[in-house]
Amino acid sequence: MFGSRREEGSSATCPACGESVRRADAREYDKHGNRWERTEKEFEYLCKPCHRDLCHQPRKGLEATLVECDAGNSDRETFLARFLDAEMPDEAER
């Protein structure tokens, strides 16, 4: 349940900067873009500065592309190559 006593004393690590923050001081982030549909979801928690820096505009498939490109699970060079191929497929053929 959101805002439960159990969450008040717990902490989370901001996925953007790696800072450990109290969940009560963090901002809930749903990487799938629909934080209102809560069934069987686990949320990430951003620190306030990183949350402020987010673009709050629609992402038009960005999260799906990041998952497809194995973001966070592959080395930087591999991820960037996959991301560029996914976002600019015509450029990859040149």
| Nearby residues of 86 by Cβ (< 8 Å), 6 or more positions away | 65, 68, 69
pLDDT value of residue 30: 74
Divide the 94 residues of the chain into consecutive groups of 10 and give the mean pLDDT of each group: 53 90 86 68 85 74 87 91 86 54
d(CA 48, CA 18): 13
DSSP state letters, 3-65: T-HHHHT-EEE-TTT--EEEGGGSEEE-TTS-TT--TT---EEE-HHHHHHS--S--TTHHHH
